[in-house]
Amino acid sequence: MAVNLPDTHGGDAGAGTAAPAAPAGGRAEARRARRSAEGRRSRSPKKGRSGRRPRPWWIEIPAMAAVGLVVALLIKTCLFQVFTIPSGSMENTLRIGDRVGVNKLAPLTGWKPEPGQPVVFKDPGGWLPPQATDGNPLTDALGSALSFVGLVPPKDDNYLVKRVIATGGQTVQCSGTTLTVDGAKVDEPYLHPGDDSCAGLDFGPVTVPQGHVWVEGDHRSDSADSRYHQRGPGGGAVPVDNVVGPVSAVVWPLGHLDWFGWVGR
């Protein structure tokens, strides 16, 4: 009896055929390729959201320092500058070693000195002796650079601080213990204890030239001010162009912090 054997080489024409399985070696190769690609991605430098790589520290730090210096220079040029009080001529309002903030924006916005205001001004000529240096070119250069950008007070630029007593066109006079401006007595509650307005030096009447100010120290008996320079330029008065600005505050030391107002009143 004949037996019909199934055809093992062919299949039903209407049935689908299964895809041959991938060899085990091929799957392992694929896994190794994926791991290799992930490793390269993890080792590559990360980028910021903008797609740019972060700058290295040796570029970032100098850049930040440069920005800080520019900001300090702008503040010193247009806003405030710090000066150190070197003498007792303004005691007890300002003491030796005090650091004061001077408002340099005020002159740029139309401010003019008025009687009663403490101001910083550049030596009009002959008020101060030549300023000594420490003799070290390196420290002198460093100090000049830091002073230029406003990080430290100027130490050799011949600046003084006094109080405005009279302005251009006004007449000032002192006799006995009484100071007058245009004939009116000046009340001076800021004077150093034990001093009077004249401190033994009578003068005047003196008419202040236009564009100048007459200045005196609060420690009247220890201040070489306009009274002592009447034979110099301006008859002792200081050109307004030499005035840096009003003293707005004592900013150091902490125990002597004080605020005189935006224009030093």
What is the rounded distance in angstroms from the CA atom of residue 51 to the CA atom of residue 178?
75
Tell me the C-alpha distance between 86 and 97, whole Å.
Answer: 6
| 193: phi then psi, degrees, rounded to nearest 5 | -55, 130
Query: What's the DSSP call for residue 212?
Result: E
Give the C-alpha separation, 26 to 47, whole Å.
34
Catalytic position from the list 89, 147, 223, 226? 89
Catalytic residue status for 162: yes
* Per annotation, catalytic residue among 76, 147, 162, 248: 162
87 is catalytic: no
CA 177 to chain CA mean position, Å: 41
Alpha-carbon distance values, 97 to 88, 94, 116, 167, 209 (Å): 9, 9, 22, 28, 33
Kindly list the catalytic residues: 89, 162
